[in-house]
């Protein structure tokens, strides 16, 4: 799941919000790293609605303008919970390794050649 999608779902986990509310919540949640444009947000919301993760909660008119509120579906909540678990495990692993914790059981560095006594003569080498 892309980070903007995760942040949109996270914003909606607090309850129904309209587009501008989601945009400002994503800025806050991300520590001001992610600033969604309105077009990007609404395209994402359409996609998330198509996937059954978000649905329209209600519409109201404020200052003569229609305002649509969105909310997570139960499937959206479940998907967000799964993704949060994945991120938590990955972050825990990174933190552990930075502290000198567990290392992988395999190494990408090739093993040094093993030149044991008598190995060269077994291949017919004259010594």
Q: Is the pLDDT of residue 119 over 60?
A: no
Categorise residue 29: left if φ over 0, alpha if ψ from -120 to 50, beta otherwise.
alpha
Task: Determine the pLDDT at residue 100.
Answer: 87
Q: What percent of the chain has pLDDT over 90?
A: 72
Over the chain, what is the mean pLDDT?
87
Domains of the chain: 3-96 (1.10.10.10)
Contacting residues for 38 by C-beta, under 8 A, at least 6 apart? 19, 23
- Give Cα 29 to chain centroid, integer Å: 14
Kindly compute the dihedral angle of the four CA atoms of residues 36, 39, 42, 46, in this order, to the nearest 10 degrees: -120
pLDDT tens sequence across 79-107 = 999 999 999 999 999 999 998 866 666 65
Q: Is the pLDDT of residue 127 over 50?
A: no
């Amino acid at each position: 799941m892309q980070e903007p999608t995760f942040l949109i779902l996270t914003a909606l986990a607090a309850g129904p919000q309209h587009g501008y509310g989601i945009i400002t919540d994503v800025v806050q949640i991300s520590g001001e790293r992610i600033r969604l444009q309105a077009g990007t947000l609404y395209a994402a919301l359409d996609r998330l609605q198509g996937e059954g993760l978000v649905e329209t909660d209600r519409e109201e008119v404020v200052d003569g303008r229609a305002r649509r509120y969105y909310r997570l579906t139960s499937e959206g909540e479940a998907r967000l919970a799964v993704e949060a678990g994945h991120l938590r495990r990955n972050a825990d692993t990174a933190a552990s390794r930075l502290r000198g914790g567990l290392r992988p059981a395999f190494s990408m560095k090739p093993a040094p050649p093993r030149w044991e006594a008598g190995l060269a003569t077994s291949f017919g080498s004259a010594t």
